[in-house]
Amino acid sequence: EIVMTQSPATLSVSPGERATLSCRASQSVSSNLAWYQQKPGQAPRLLIYAASTRATGIPARFSGSGSGTEFTLTISSLQSEDFAVYFCQQYNNWLSFGQGTKLEIK
Amino acid sequence: QITLKESGPTLVKPTQTLTLTCTFSGFSLSTSGVGVGWIRQPPGKALEWLALIFWDGDKRYSPSLKSRLSITKDTSKDQVVLTMTNMDPVDTATYYCAHRGIRGVIGAFDIWGQGTMVTVSS
């Protein structure tokens, strides 16, 4: 089983600033990596797939990068609606999720 | 517009079997490449993939839960059913079904249902 490790567990950032979230795989997942956003009481929403492709309707301030075992989700200028929990998910070998990063207002 | 909605019991007793139904619209599970999966999330915890069924009837299960899971589809009703046997309090979670919109061996999920909370308690 591929273990996905996200860091940090909690990230405090001010609105308008940049946020950088990390996801590491225990073995290579190539570019088969997705990012989801989840707000309290809501289902996850797909943001990024194939490591760097934005899903339909996702604003350009969200960007993904990386391949192999190291991945990054960057939110260029945080809006109030971006404060949420973010999960990464690999789909190269079966399917597994990271434990999440909570992005909170500083 | 693709939508999915989960239904089933909110409370089950330990050792019982859980049966959840995902009713969807906006796509057909007989179309090549399409899949519907189940994912769960214990309160305050991470997501855990459970199972996926493909348009051709192929089924994939989480290796850690495979012995307890069964996934089936009814294309005529646009439904996918998940059963999980021998329920335990640690299985208390919100259960989601989702549309596999991103291809891969399993793939990723682009549209999710609202989720249904299941509590396991005597």
Provide the pLDDT for residue B59: 96
What residue type is B121 in one-letter code? S
Q: What is the dihedral of CA A6, B59, A28, A64, to 10 degrees?
A: -50
Interface of B with A in 20-79 (CB under 8 A): 45-49, 52, 60, 62-64
**CB < 8 Å to A100, chain B:** 46
Provide the pLDDT for residue B103: 86
Nearest-neighbour CA in chain A from B47: distance (Å): 6
Q: Do B112 and A44 touch (CB under 8 A)?
A: yes
**Mutation for B interface: A91, A95, A96, most B CBs within 10 A:** A95
Contacts of B58 (CB under 8 A, 6+ apart): none
**CB < 8 Å to A98, chain B:** 46
Q: Do B102 and A49 touch (CB under 8 A)?
A: yes
Question: The tokens of B97 are what?
Answer: 């079904």
Among B97, B67, B34, B62, CA closest to A93 = B62
Provide the pLDDT for residue B102: 87
Provide the pLDDT for residue A26: 98
Residues in chain A where the model's pLDDT stays below 70: none
> pLDDT (tens digit, 9 = 90+) per residue, A1-22?
899 999 999 999 999 999 999 9
Binned average pLDDT, 10 residues per bin, chain B of 122 residues: 97 98 96 94 96 95 96 96 98 98 87 98 96
Provide the pLDDT for residue B49: 96
